Structure 1
Amino acid sequence: MPQNAQEWDHRYRQPGYWAGTEPAEFLRDVLPLLPHGTTLDLACGEGRNAVFLAARGWCVLAVDRSRPALEKAEVLAREAGVPALWGAPGRLAARSAHPLTLLETDLESSALPARQFDVVLCFNYLQRSLLSALPRLLRPHGLLVYETYTLAQLQFAKGPRNPEFLLRPDELRVAFPTLEILFYREIVAGKGIASLLARKP
């Protein structure tokens, strides 16, 4: 697995889509529960989840630090018939009138706006310093959909290897004390992942 921004850019410049073009299974599972409105896809990568939601009527802001990844997301959106535009650098704000906005920014150095989003997605990304800020992004009754790797992933040959970017047991479940947990699981079946759906009161 890539370990820094340059390695990720190199990976995303390769032919094809590293994570595929289909949305995450967990996103499909919770789709009926998601409120329509503005959605933030954090560390969106090549855009598979963002395009999936935008094609179904959500207004999505897809954010990643990798320009090559976002360029692939733009192509994927075009193929899906989803209009995409590029956001102003550093402006992490919802665009309620547009299906998909692509924004190149470093989440670790960006100011995160409060109460802007009805849904926040985060898949296969862990930056612990950002966890406490995620509930503030949500409007009242908004949903957080979070899924990423756990330390159990280390028993498998593929996937991330750096423990710094792997969740400890139960870590994701207790990370958001101000949110109501609607669903939580940790599984070890071909990969080690934790999945969470939580609502802001």
Structure 2
Amino acid sequence: MWDERFNQSEYVYGTEPNEFLVSVAGQIPQGKVLCLAEGEGRNACFLASLGYQVTAVDQSSVGLAKAQKLAQEKGVKITTIQSNLADFEIVVDAWQGIVSIFCHLPSSLRKQLYPRIYQGLKSGGVFILEGFAPEQLQYTTGGPKDLDLLPNLMNLREELSSFAYLTSHTLERHLNEGIYHQGKAALIQVLAKK
């Protein structure tokens, strides 16, 4: 499905970074950042432009090829790895930041992945997440239609209980991110520290 979505000349979620990521990127200590389900690379390229060593993981080889093309156009270097997040090994104590922007996973996978994210961060490292909230089902501005992929804030905080929260809230904001994220949306934002 993702290869098919990304297989067009247009960057389907745009080439500009996610607004929430831009607002909190300065909280990431300098060093290595891992971007999960990074798709076409807009966020990875932005972080690389700030001097981070960025690795982008996605299951779509088509999306990652576009990410490398975007990096070249923007004059930055990123590392790309094609992998399903269920199989991807997050190296322990390796990352200053891990970023999850619109990476919607089933609860069974989140319960496996989130402890690995915590272990993968260095002490003082941060986890940045923005995703659709369950209330997004009332809007036609993007996101999955399966509630299991849309945790509410209380459940998400339980799943990320090892972290110290710097920010965790739900909100509505206007999205302007390519052709698939346009208009009013219900979102969850988390900035958490190890």
* Aligned residue identity for 1:67: S
* Aligned residue identity for 2:139: F
Larger relative strand fraction: 2
Partners of 1:153 and 1:30 lie apart in 2 by 23
**Residue 123 (structure 2) aligns with:** 140
Partners of 1:62 and 1:76 lie apart in 2 by 13
Residue 31 (str. 1) matches residue 14 (str. 2): no
Runs of 4+ residues over 3 Å off in structure 1: none
2:64 match: secondary structure = helix
Unaligned runs of 5+ in 1: 1-6, 84-99
Partners of 1:177 and 1:79 lie apart in 2 by 39
Query: Which range moved further: 163-172 or 180-189?
Result: 163-172
Partners of 1:62 and 1:184 lie apart in 2 by 24
Asked if the contact 2:153–2:169 (Cα under 8 Å) also holds between the matched residues in 1, the reply is: no
> TM-score scaled by structure 1?
0.84
Return closer, same or farther for 1:183/1:152 CA change in 2, 3 Å cut-off: same
Unaligned runs of 5+ in 2: 174-183
* Aligned residue identity for 1:183: T
Asked if the contact 1:172–1:196 (Cα under 8 Å) also holds between the matched residues in 2, the reply is: no
Partners of 2:31 and 2:130 lie apart in 1 by 21
**Residue 13 (structure 1) aligns with:** 7
* Aligned residue identity for 1:120: I
Partners of 1:169 and 1:36 lie apart in 2 by 28
1:35 match: secondary structure = coil
Match of 2:57 among 53, 59, 63: 63
Asked if the contact 1:38–1:60 (Cα under 8 Å) also holds between the matched residues in 2, the reply is: yes
* Aligned residue identity for 1:158: T
Query: Which range moved further: 105-114 or 35-44?
Result: 105-114
* Aligned residue identity for 2:84: D
Displacement after TM superposition at 1:170 (Å): 2.2
* Aligned residue identity for 2:100: C
> TM-score scaled by structure 2?
0.87
Partners of 1:194 and 1:101 lie apart in 2 by 27
Residue 151 (str. 1) matches residue 115 (str. 2): no
Match of 2:86 among 108, 115, 120: 108
1:191 match: secondary structure = strand
Partners of 2:161 and 2:151 lie apart in 1 by 17
Displacement after TM superposition at 1:36 (Å): 0.7
Displacement after TM superposition at 1:31 (Å): 2.0
Match of 1:48 among 21, 42, 46: 42
Partners of 2:89 and 2:156 lie apart in 1 by 23
**Residue 101 (structure 2) aligns with:** 123
Aligned residues between the structures: 178
Displacement after TM superposition at 1:188 (Å): 2.7
Asked if the contact 1:151–1:169 (Cα under 8 Å) also holds between the matched residues in 2, the reply is: no
